Amino acid sequence: MLRRALGLLPRPIAAARARSFSTDLPAAHTADATFMEAWNKVMPNMDPPKTPLSFMHPRPPTPSSIPPKLTVNFVLPYASELSTKEVDMVIVPATTGQMGVLPGHVATIAELKPGVLSVHEGSETTKYFVSSGFVFIHANSFADIIAVEAVPLDRIDANLVQKGLADFTQKLSSATTELEKAEAQIGIDVHSALNSALTG
């Protein structure tokens, strides 16, 4: 049945299975020779444009053995909380549930939901509350955590959380438009997660 279904697929889709995964590609970015040649013919006195790959560091190769530490980058739109920090483990609040990430974790992309992100280093644990975002776990024991907003858990005022939860609950009950209801529900979800993080 599956073989018959594959035969019905257009050729480009079936051929796409043969493409390399990103982990199979070379770590260093190589310039497209055809593009560079065409650019130099048209604009010989101007440097070629830079692409996002021009600003990225080459990806470290996947090690043959599992390293002892996980390297974590934890960034916000306005700040970098952790930059290439080696830790034992991180626990992230994924939409599918709490996800522990250790060195050697399989490559994964997960969406974050409001909740507690824990960074474990030896006997020390640092906890952050994250509102949302994504985590990119790479096969080379690197993890990139991108959050929309995050704050260390010990800097959150429990009284303000309770007040915010009450305010958004009141806004939801008095909302008249779908937009007002959606905004109030988001506020309730975030403040409920904050409350659970502080009490749990």
What is the spatial distance between Cα 183 and Cα 22, in angstroms, rounded to a whole number? 38
Q: Please tell me whether residues 147 and 71 are part of one structural domain.
A: yes
What is the spatial distance between Cα 99 and Cα 169, in angstroms, rounded to a whole number? 29
Mean pLDDT lowest among 3-17, 26-40, 100-114, 153-167: 3-17
Q: Please tell me the predicted confidence (pLDDT) of residue 79.
A: 86
Q: Please tell me the predicted confidence (pLDDT) of residue 139.
A: 85
Is the pLDDT at 109 greater than 90? The verdict is yes
Q: Please tell me whether residues 84 and 149 are part of one structural domain.
A: yes
What is the spatial distance between Cα 83 and Cα 68, in angstroms, rounded to a whole number? 18
Give the domain CATH number at 141.
2.60.15.10
What is the spatial distance between Cα 132 and Cα 112, in angstroms, rounded to a whole number? 5
Instruction: State which of 117, 137, 154 marks the end of a domain.
Output: 154
**Could you tell me which of 82, 57, 69, 91 has the C-alpha nearest to residue 146?**
82
What is the spatial distance between Cα 94 and Cα 120, in angstroms, rounded to a whole number? 17
Q: Please tell me whether residues 161 and 134 are part of one structural domain.
A: no
Q: Please tell me the predicted confidence (pLDDT) of residue 32.
A: 72
Q: Please tell me whether residues 49 and 81 are part of one structural domain.
A: no
Total domain count for the chain? 3
What is the spatial distance between Cα 40 and Cα 110, in angstroms, rounded to a whole number? 42
Q: Please tell me whether residues 147 and 160 are part of one structural domain.
A: no
Range of the domain at 101: 67-154
Residue 9 tokens read as 């697929």
Q: Please tell me whether residues 140 and 170 are part of one structural domain.
A: no
Backbone angles phi, psi at 169, to 5 degrees: -65, -40
Task: Give the SS3 label for residue 66.
Answer: coil
Q: Please tell me whether residues 149 and 162 are part of one structural domain.
A: no
Mean pLDDT lowest among 3-12, 88-97, 156-165: 3-12
What is the spatial distance between Cα 87 and Cα 119, in angstroms, rounded to a whole number? 7
Is the pLDDT at 13 greater than 80? The verdict is no
Exposure b/e, 41-55, CB count within 10 A at least 16 = b: eeeeeeeeeeeeeee
Q: Please tell me whether residues 52 and 71 are part of one structural domain.
A: no
pLDDT digits (tens, 9 = 90+) for 142-194: 999 999 999 998 898 989 999 999 999 999 999 999 999 999 999 998 889 88
